[in-house]
């Protein structure tokens, strides 16, 4: 039990980026656009944040925060590609997302080659510092984002309109909502949040960006969205579960009674749990009804 | 017919032809890649001479010729073509198989086990390993198809989950083999290997192997199933219009599951070809080989046909095996990944080409109407 309490800061460290990214993915799907580019957008955010931080860390104490902002903006900018392709040009959303994932791997290492003359960013001296009780501020950022998303999606007219675009875009349009504009906002928000998530990840968990920095966190976030049934509290719970499982896989060596199991066992757990729950709760489809479908204005 | 209307028809024809779109998309990707190389102040000639050397073995910078580069190019294309076939087969049934990576890994793992523990009889040994890989990959894909058909679990999320399960399970199982350290098993017996002395000699010692024939046969099988069998017809009908297929009495559940089984078998074979062709020992995977993910791009560019996938696989294989040559010419090798990514994004815009076509058709209809009104 003591072990588990001691693990809380590291669990939160791992959960936070997944949760932030998953919130973005949820908002995006709520508006009717599937964003499987979360993984790539997180990579772009992480690369940008690591680069900015290493370049200015000696000149300003606010470097970490500037880096996170830069990462968020980079995620937002790249997500414009996905938004333009899938909303304005009716592109296949899964294919466009896959393209961005491929592009992110190549693009970030390419830029690293150009800027640092190697396949990774130069390591920074000091990442983000943990706060009270060894908990990183990223946990509070994540909490704030969950509460804010919930408030906007479920307590503001704007949120109602956004959700309508994902459930029944034609009905939303006939009620006077600009469906395309709403979807743009949602995709850009998810790009921004994925950028924040990637920045948080790189600044708390490692000292530089490499191709393996994100290592599936974006895909886990994507799964957390469907496992959490597209609800803020569900997605938060799912992210917490996945993050704990990932942390367990890292820390299991410290737990005497579980040592007979290989670490791969714990690495597999979150994915198996997701699959099983997806099957168990398959009776009703919880996904926004129009998620993944391009919206075409009827008539002309 | 005046020149202007002729141009119009040509553009229409280009936009409505899948082949023309694929070719222009690839050219556009290369153009962007070239501009990028120029933008960072390198000479794009280095990129193209690296590609030429990969394709022909001709080294223009030194004026030498070595056929080994051609062999390496073909060898790099083999798993890409097979993973492309996997993606393409699922796509013909209207499924998006991001799981080729996982199916590739289980195939690779199964092949490694048979290579180490199977009967050491020449030919039979690697045949059994290939069979095991196809079955393992088919099972891994079939599970996804079954979950999709029976419980409507999204194949996108399910395959991503199973990719990770496959990766970690492969590490776990492989490390159980006696004599295995953190990255490799003991060496395979010679009877398990796909390498062939004749091919080896012809290509001046490249790693090209009998997997070449596995790929050719797979392409033929793909074409035959899709075009010439009842199953293929039913699958294509399901992919084109699920509801219409159901009303026509086609069993969708069975169709989706069998489609994913066959798709998985192709990816599983890719794993075996890499394991037994390019390596002489079993690997404890340290990361993804990414053939499965790149197979997505291959199938998209190849328009999900057997021939197209083969050509696209050779193209992406060329990009992959040109990487070290580019690096030696001061071209950041990541430019090839950027080209692949851009090609996929451009391909996703196919719907946009249809919008253009529709607009043009509408405009023409309006013009015709105007003319008849006059």
pLDDT, position B102: 95
Three-state DSSP class for residue B14: helix
Q: Cα–Cα distance between B111 and B115 in angstroms, integer?
A: 6
ipTM score = 0.81
Identify the residue with better confidence: B258 or A255.
B258
| Calpha distance A22→B297 (Å, rounded) | 26
User: Radius of gyration (Cα) for chain A, nearest Å?
Assistant: 19
Q: How many CB atoms lie within 10 A of CB B265?
A: 29
Q: Looking at residues B52-76, what average pLDDT do you find?
A: 91
**Cβ-contact A189, A27 below 8 angstroms:** yes
Q: Do B348 and A268 touch (CB under 8 A)?
A: no
Residues 246-275 of B with CB under 8 A from A: none
- Determine the Cα–Cα distance for residues B155 and B163; give it in Å rounded to an integer: 12
Cβ neighbors of A104 (< 8 A, separation 6 or more) are A37, A39, A40, A41, A43, A44, A78, B341
In chain B, where the domains are located: 70-317
Which residue stretches of chain B are H helix?
3-16, 18-39, 44-56, 68-92, 100-117, 124-151, 155-175, 197-202, 211-228, 230-240, 242-247, 252-273, 291-301, 306-328, 335-348, 350-373
Q: Contact B98/A98, CB-based, under 8 Å? A: yes
Tell me how far CA of residue B88 lies from CA of A198, B175, B310, in angstroms: 32, 33, 11
- Residue of B160, B347, B354 with shortest CB distance to A219: B160
Encoding tokens for residue B147? 């979950």
**Tens digit of each residue's pLDDT, chain A (300 residues):** 677 777 888 889 999 999 999 999 999 999 999 998 999 999 999 999 999 999 998 888 899 999 999 999 999 999 999 999 999 888 888 888 988 998 998 899 999 988 998 889 999 988 888 888 888 999 999 999 999 999 999 999 999 999 999 999 999 999 999 999 999 999 999 999 999 999 999 999 999 999 888 888 898 898 888 888 899 999 999 899 888 877 877 777 666 777 777 878 877 887 887 788 778 876 556 778 888 788 876 543
Whether the Cβ atoms of residue B86 and residue B270 lie closer than 8 Å to each other: yes
Domains of chain A listed by start with CATH number? 19-214 (1.10.3470.10)
Q: Nearest-CA residue of chain B relative to A82?
A: B345
CA–CA distance, A250 with A264 (Å, rounded to integer): 10
Task: Say if B324 is an interface residue toward chain A (CB within 8 Å).
Answer: no
Q: Quote the pLDDT of residue B351.
A: 67
- For residue A293, what pLDDT is reported? 81
Task: Note the pLDDT tens digit of each residue in B346-372.
Answer: 888 776 777 777 777 788 888 888 887
pLDDT at res. A254? 65
The CB-side HSE value for A192 (13 A sphere, CA atoms) comes to 10
Q: Tell me the average pLDDT across B146-171.
A: 87
pLDDT at A237: 92
Does B153 contact A278 at a Cβ distance shorter than 8 Å?
yes
Q: Do A114 and B152 touch (CB under 8 A)?
A: no
Per CB-CB distance under 8 Å, the chain A contacts of B172 are 262, 264-265, 268
Question: Residue B208: which H helix or E strand, with range?
Answer: none
Whether A278 sits inside 8 A of B341 (CB atoms) is no
Distance from A67 to chain B by nearest Cα, in Å? 24
pLDDT band at B115 (very low <50, low <70, confident <90, very high): very high
How many angstroms separate the Cα of A118 from the Cα of each of A111, A155, A211, B24, B170? 9, 48, 12, 33, 31
pLDDT at A298: 56
Check residue A136 and report its DSSP letter. Answer: -
Task: Give the nearest partner residue to B152 out of A98, A268, A285, using CB atoms.
Answer: A285
Write down the CATH number for the domain with range B70-317. Answer: 1.10.3470
Contact present, B250 and B238 (Cβ < 8 Å): yes
Tokens of B192: 């398990």
pLDDT at B9 over 80: no
B35 part of contact set with chain A, CB < 8 Å: no
Question: Cα separation of B50 and B33, whole Å?
Answer: 14
- Looking at the complex, report in whole angstroms how far the Cα of residue A105 sits from the nearest Cα belonging to chain B: 7
Question: Mutating which of A81, A93, A102 best tests the B interface, going by the most B Cβ atoms within 10 A?
Answer: A102
pLDDT digits (tens, 9 = 90+) for A11-63: 899 999 999 999 999 999 999 999 989 999 999 999 999 999 999 988 888 99
């Amino acid at each position: 039990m003591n072990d588990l309490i001691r693990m809380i800061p590291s669990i939160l460290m791992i959960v936070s980026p997944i949760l932030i990214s998953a919130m973005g993915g949820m908002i995006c799907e709520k508006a009717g656009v599937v964003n499987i580019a979360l993984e790539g957008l997180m990579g772009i955010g992480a690369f940008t944040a690591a680069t900015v931080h290493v370049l200015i860390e000696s000149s300003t104490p606010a470097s970490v925060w500037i880096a996170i902002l830069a990462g968020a903006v980079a995620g937002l900018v790249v997500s414009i590609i996905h938004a333009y392709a899938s909303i304005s040009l009716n592109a296949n959303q899964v294919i466009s997302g896959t393209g961005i994932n491929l592009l992110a791997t190549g693009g970030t290492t390419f830029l690293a080659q150009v800027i640092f003359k190697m396949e990774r960013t130069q390591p920074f001296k000091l990442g983000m510092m943990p706060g009270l009780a060894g908990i990183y501020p990223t946990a509070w950022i994540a909490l704030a984002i969950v509460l804010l998303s919930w408030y906007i999606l479920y307590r503001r007219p704007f949120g109602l309109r956004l959700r309508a675009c994902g459930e029944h875009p034609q009905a939303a349009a006939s009620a006077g909502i600009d469906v395309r504009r709403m979807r743009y906002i949602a995709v850009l928000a998810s790009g921004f949040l994925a950028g924040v998530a990637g920045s948080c990840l790189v600044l708390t968990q490692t000292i530089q960006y490499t191709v393996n920095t994100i290592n599936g966190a974006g895909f886990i976030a994507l799964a957390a969205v469907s496992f959490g049934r597209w609800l803020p509290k569900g997605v938060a719970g799912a992210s917490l579960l996945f993050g704990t499982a990932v942390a367990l896989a890292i820390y299991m060596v410290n737990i005497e009674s579980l040592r007979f199991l290989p670490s791969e066992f714990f690495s597999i757990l979150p994915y198996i749990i997701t699959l099983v729950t997806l099957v168990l709760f398959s009776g009703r489809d919880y996904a926004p009804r129009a998620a993944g479908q391009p919206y075409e204005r009827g008539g002309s | 017919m005046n020149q202007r209307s002729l141009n119009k028809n040509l553009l229409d024809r280009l936009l409505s032809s899948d082949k023309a779109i694929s070719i222009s998309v690839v050219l556009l990707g290369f153009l962007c890649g070239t501009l990028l190389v120029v933008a960072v102040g390198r000479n794009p000639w280095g990129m193209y001479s690296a590609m030429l050397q990969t394709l022909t073995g001709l080294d223009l910078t030194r004026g030498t010729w070595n056929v080994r580069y051609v062999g390496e190019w073909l060898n790099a294309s083999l798993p890409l073509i097979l993973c492309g076939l996997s993606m393409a087969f699922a796509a013909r049934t209207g499924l998006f198989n991001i799981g080729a990576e996982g199916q590739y890994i289980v195939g690779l793992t199964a092949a490694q086990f048979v290579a180490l523990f199977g009967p050491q009889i020449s030919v039979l040994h690697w045949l059994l390993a290939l069979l095991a890989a196809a079955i393992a990959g088919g099972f891994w894909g079939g599970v996804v198809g079954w979950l999709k058909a029976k419980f409507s679990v999204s194949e996108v999320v399910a395959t991503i989950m199973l990719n990770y399960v496959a990766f970690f399970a492969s590490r776990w199982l492989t490390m159980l083999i006696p004599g295995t350290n953190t990255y490799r098993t003991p060496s395979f017996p010679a009877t398990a290997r796909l390498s062939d002395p004749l091919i080896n000699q012809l290509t001046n010692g490249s790693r090209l192997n009998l997997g070449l024939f596995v790929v050719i046969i797979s392409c033929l099988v793909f074409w035959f199933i899709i075009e010439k069998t009842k199953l293929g017809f039913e699958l294509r009908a399901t992919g084109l219009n699920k509801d219409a297929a159901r009303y026509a009495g086609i069993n969708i559940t069975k169709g989706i599951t069998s489609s994913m089984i066959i798709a998985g078998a192709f990816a599983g074979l890719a794993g075996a070809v890499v394991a037994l062709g390019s390596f002489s020992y079993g690997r404890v995977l340290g990361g993804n080989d990414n053939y499965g993910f790149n197979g997505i791009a291959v199938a998209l560019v190849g328009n999900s046909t057997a021939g197209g996938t083969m050509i696209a696989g050779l193209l992406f294989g060329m990009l992959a095996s040109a990487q070290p040559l580019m690096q030696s010419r001061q071209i950041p090798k990541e430019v090839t990944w950027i080209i692949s990514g851009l090609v996929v994004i451009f391909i996703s815009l196919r719907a946009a080409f249809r919008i253009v076509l529709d607009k043009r058709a509408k405009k023409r209809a309006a013009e015709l109407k105007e003319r008849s009104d006059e």
